[in-house]
Each structure stands twice: as structure tokens, then as C-alpha cells.
Amino acid sequence: MKRRVAVTGIGLVSALGIGTQQNWEALLEGECGIGLITRFDTDQFSVRIAGEVKGFDPLNWIPKKDVKKMDPFIQYAVAASQFAVESASLKITSELAPRFGVHIGSGIGGFSTIEREHTALLTGGPRKISPFFIPSSIVNLAAGQISIRFGAKGPNTATCTACSSGSHAIGDSFRIIARGEADIMLCGGSEAAITPMSVGGFSSMRALSAQNEKPEEASRPFDKNRDGFVIGEGAGILILEEMEMAKKRGTTIFAEIVGYGMSGDAFHITQPSEDGEGACQVMTNALKDANIQAEQVDYINAHGTSTPFNDRNETKAIKRTFGKHAYHLLVSSTKSMTGHLLGAAGGLEGGISVLALHHQTIPPTINYRYPDPDCDLDYVPNQARKQNINYVLSNSFGFGGTNATLLFRRYEE
């Protein structure tokens, strides 16, 4: 029998705020963190909007001498991890350290550092490249820096599976604890890819919304007039803990993670499978892992990117997975408020899913005004909803057809 796993800590950083409570309050108010890009001159860009983290000072969490060693995606991960550890009332002792692991995902890693150092190479030659370039930019250094910071000597790993990265990191950590290889895992995702190359690259694919005149209305998942996703940034970190240890510590148990599914579309480098097969399979796998029936799920925090393909196909997959029960489910996409955090999306949305269970409240899909006949479920439009819920799914789908689903259960003594 696999060991039970509790969620005892949550740390969130996004365009909605710095800190878990600030994010949660903004979500319930239906606020939007999307605005005009301020990081670089966008005059030559067709897309000029993003979900930037505002007012973030890394010195609040990181010593000055270490800031230059960390790309912003690492800085966000460190801050979110601090929030998570504090919310879990966790103290890392020498006895606990070998059983405490870190698993952080990122879809891109240190994009801004890569761009800056490439410019240094072209303008000044190889001697101008910073000695901190590599450790500041590679994907696994978020986990590495956090492991060093907290003295975590258990599993230390990273995953890079595009927009499924954060969910894969949480799901893999769940299994690590369930198998008995660690007792506590700090896990999730982080991303900081609002850069000229990133925005230009996604724009050239025509993947991004170009509604520059009204940025706060650009991300509109499941709405008939959606025209692409809005890139966001930030981090979402959970503390997962073996259930009996959490009970013994007397800490708050926000929820229990009970299921995890993975699948591949084997269809296209960027588009989801047209019949929703991969998304259906990953949700079915999570249900089987938890040994529950589809009818027991109450809410889905959807991948819901606001792209024409994803939202239609995810809706199709939900109906294929849940049958008639699909029309009794609550489904919402919080990307309407945060933007799409790419590799950090699953971490952020995993945390939001746990908060929804803990507070028995569903965050809305904002900007939902014009129903799409192909998207005909209850998307909790525009206003949060109080609701008794016991099981929540969180979906993440990535380029290359990589899919992950997390399944959380309400915790009661």
C-alpha cells in the first residue's frame, strides 16, 4: 500500500501578487494581473501584453551577493518556497534533512540570462560572459539553490516538460513520498520568460493574444472570441508531506493529494490531439491512481489557455472522460487572471486547486462573455462561487503532447 500524502504548505508568486494570501484574495475578486509589458521596448512587437510579477525585490529573500547568481526564475522559486515553508511551519533538522527533497520544474529556465549573456558575447567577446551564466540559467538550479538554502539532502531533481513541468514535479514528488523514498518534498514550478526572444518566438507561432488595447480582457478561456494565450511568470510551490508525519507535527493539512496521471498525445509538436484522447487518458489515469469514480470529482482547474485549439479540445476531453457528469462539474481557468505561466502553471494552479478545496470556493474564469458552442460546460464565469467540493483535478498540457493531471481530496479528520 502506498503511503498517504498531505499538502501542508503553499507558496505563490504571480502577476496577481507576491505571496499566497495576496494571490488567493485577488483570484476571488476576479482581478486580472495582465497589462502592458514594461521589461523591454515592445514598439516592434505585435504582442505587447503579459502577466508580469510586479514589485518583486529579490533582496527580500536572497542575500545581495547571491542575487547575481540567480536568474529571475530561480528568484521566484526561492521566494515561493519561503512562503510554502513558512505556511507549513516547517523546521529542517539534521534528522529530517536526508528525508526532505526538492523537485522544481521549469519549461524554459533562465531565458533572460541566456539573452543577456548572448548579447555580451556578441558585443564583447567570450571574456565578457559571466562566470555565473550557466548556474544562473540551467533548469535544475532552482531546485539546487532551494536545496542549499533549506539544507534539503533528500531527492534533488528537476523536470522540463514544457507547460506540464510544474504538475509533473508535484506528481513525481507525490510518488516519491508514497514509495517511502522521502517524507517531505518541496515541489512545483517556476518561470520567468517575459523576454524579447520568448515573446517574439511565441508571437511568430501566432500562439499569443494580440488584444493589446485591453490587456485585462485578453485572456478569455472558453470564450468564443479568444485569440491566444497571454504569457505570464511566477512560481507555485507546494510542501508535500507523509500524512502521519503531518498529523504528528500538528500542522495545517490543506488537502490530500491522492492521484496523478501522465500521458502523451503522440500527435503534433504544439497542438493537442483533435479528439482529446491524450487529455482524456491523463485524467482517466489520475482517477485510476486515486481509485475513485469520475462522478466523485467536483471541480477541474482547467489548463484553459485561451487558445482556440486547447479550450475546445480540453472541453471535448472532459466530456469524453466524465460523460453526463461533465455537465455537473465546475470548470474554471485561472489563467484568465494570471496569464499562462508555462512551466510554472501546474505549480501555481496546483496551489490554487488546494486552496479551493481548503476554502470550499471556486475561483472564476473571468472575461467569459460570449459562449462558444464547442465549449458548453459550467466555467464558473466571472464570479467566484462557494461550493461544497471533495475532489479537485488540475490539468496541465504541454508542447510535444506531454500531459499531467493532479487529483486532490478535501482533508477532514
Catalytic status, residue 160: no
Annotated catalytic residue: which of 32, 340, 358, 375?
340
Give the burial class of 292: count Cβ atoms within 10 A of its Cβ; 0-12 exposed, 13-18 middle, 19 or more buried: middle
Give one DSSP letter per residue of 232-294, joined into a string. Answer: B-EEEEEEEEEHHHHHHHT----EEEEEEEEEE--S-SSSPPTT-HHHHHHHHHHHHHHT--G
| Backbone angle region of 254, left / alpha / beta, with phi > 0 → left and psi within -120 to 50 → alpha | alpha
- H/E stretch holding 102: strand 100-105
Catalytic status, residue 118: no
405 phi/psi in degrees, rounded to 5: -130, 135
Q: Is the dihedral of CA 207, 220, 276, 392 positive or negative?
A: positive
End-to-end CA distance of the chain: 20
Give one DSSP letter per residue of 181-246, joined into a string. Answer: S-SEEEEEEEE---SHHHHHHHHHTT-B---TT-GGGT--TTBTT---B-BB-EEEEEEEEEHHHH
Measured in residues, the chain has a length of 413
Annotated catalytic residue: which of 32, 160, 163, 187?
163
Catalytic status, residue 358: no
Residue appearing with cell numbers 511565441: 202
C-alpha dist (Å) from residue 229 to 162, 207, 272, 314, 323: 15, 6, 15, 15, 28
- Contacts for 38-42: CB closer than 8 Å, 24+ residues apart: 39/194, 39/195, 40/195, 40/196, 42/199
Give the burial class of 248: count Cβ atoms within 10 A of its Cβ; 0-12 exposed, 13-18 middle, 19 or more buried: exposed
Q: What pairs with residue 186 in β-bridges?
A: 102, 239
Give one DSSP letter per residue of 287-317, joined into a string. Answer: HHHHT--GGG--EEE----S-HHHHHHHHHH
Burial per residue of 253-267, b for 16 or more beta-carbon CB atoms within 10 angstroms, e otherwise = bbbbbbbbbbbebee
Q: Give me the active site residues, please.
A: 163, 303, 340
